[in-house]
Amino acid sequence: MPDCDFFSWRRETLDAFQSITEACEVTTTVHRYTQSLEFDYFAFCVRHPVPFTRPKMSVFSSYPQAWLEHYQAENYFAIDPVLKPVNFMRGFLPWNDHLFVDTPALWDAARDHGLRQGITQCVMSPSRAAGLLSVSRSSLKGKLLPDDELNARLQYVAELSLMTLTRLADPSVDGLTMKLSKRELEILQWTGEGKTSAEVAMILSISENTVNFHQKNMQKKFNAPNKTQIACYAAAIGII
């Protein structure tokens, strides 16, 4: 476990992440800090809010290759409770039987691969992407830091990981971004309120044809089939 107080550790950790110049260094740095917290492995997943059915995800990991291949082959991404918003929005998420009550095969497989104790910590970026830092270890022996301090340290490592990838403009943090005009944003906001094109036209004192013209342009920008999906995507990524 770290042998320095939290604030000294925090300063040293910040310096380490600020010195990173390439994205590949994030993996080695996170691994070093999670090992100092008595964990054998880590996975840092950047999960974007859209597309809704197949959200973009990128993973940086030190997990055993056999486990990564098994996880992918079994499509555990689709059922992993750690990835459910209702769970990861809790922030500090210890792995236990209750968490995996609906996915016992996943929990059994993880332990068979040596992942017998774990925690997932979630942080959010301004673009609404979730940074999920999962740490695990093979042994149940050995004392970990108290939950509140472990929570604070894992949260800070996750935040710095996300910030560093953003600073380096790594593709993993590139989400759906849109450049909208002031008029497009106004129309989008009222569309999000459930207003029809005719109602938006009346509110903004413009023609319905103008409203439809801007909505068609936004559909192209979002690669969306209709105005409803535009509003849903915009809300998901924080534009409205």
Output the domain CATH number for residue 232.
1.10.10.10
* pLDDT score of 93: 94
Answer whether residue 21 is part of any domain: yes
Average pLDDT of span 201-230: 91
Average pLDDT of span 27-43: 96
Average pLDDT of span 8-37: 96
Answer whether residue 1 is part of any domain: no
- Same domain for 109 and 14, yes or no, is yes
Rounded CA-CA distance 212/180 in Å is 15
- Same domain for 166 and 216, yes or no, is no
For residue range 41-87, list pLDDT tens digits in order. 999 999 888 877 778 889 999 999 999 999 999 999 889 999 887 87
- Same domain for 168 and 205, yes or no, is no
* pLDDT score of 222: 84
Last residue of a domain, one of 173, 198, 216: 173
* pLDDT score of 2: 61
CB atoms within 10 A of CB 89: 11
Average pLDDT of span 201-210: 94
Confidence of residue 34 (pLDDT cuts 50, 70, 90): very high
Answer whether residue 151 is part of any domain: yes
- Same domain for 141 and 190, yes or no, is no
Q: What is the mean pLDDT of the chain?
A: 91
User: Could you tell me what percent of the chain has a pLDDT over 90?
Assistant: 68
Answer whether residue 194 is part of any domain: yes
Last residue of a domain, one of 150, 173, 196: 173
Ramachandran angles phi, psi of 124, nearest 5°: -120, 140
Question: Given a cut of 80, is residue 88 above it in pLDDT?
Answer: no
- Same domain for 149 and 30, yes or no, is yes
Confidence of residue 90 (pLDDT cuts 50, 70, 90): confident
Question: Given a cut of 90, is residue 22 above it in pLDDT?
Answer: yes
Answer whether residue 227 is part of any domain: yes
* pLDDT score of 35: 95
* pLDDT score of 1: 53
- Same domain for 221 and 203, yes or no, is yes
pLDDT higher at 225 or 39:
39
User: Could you tell me what percent of the chain has a pLDDT over 70?
Assistant: 99
Question: Given a cut of 70, is residue 3 above it in pLDDT?
Answer: no
Answer whether residue 34 is part of any domain: yes
Confidence of residue 205 (pLDDT cuts 50, 70, 90): very high
Question: Given a cut of 90, is residue 237 above it in pLDDT?
Answer: no
- Same domain for 51 and 140, yes or no, is yes
- Same domain for 78 and 157, yes or no, is yes
- Same domain for 37 and 81, yes or no, is yes
- Same domain for 43 and 74, yes or no, is yes
Answer whether residue 117 is part of any domain: yes
Output the domain CATH number for residue 111.
3.30.450.80
For residue range 139-155, list pLDDT tens digits in order. 888 888 999 999 999 99
Structural domain of residue 205, as residue ranges?
182-236
Q: What is the domain count for the chain?
A: 2
- Same domain for 203 and 132, yes or no, is no
- Same domain for 108 and 147, yes or no, is yes
Last residue of a domain, one of 121, 153, 173: 173
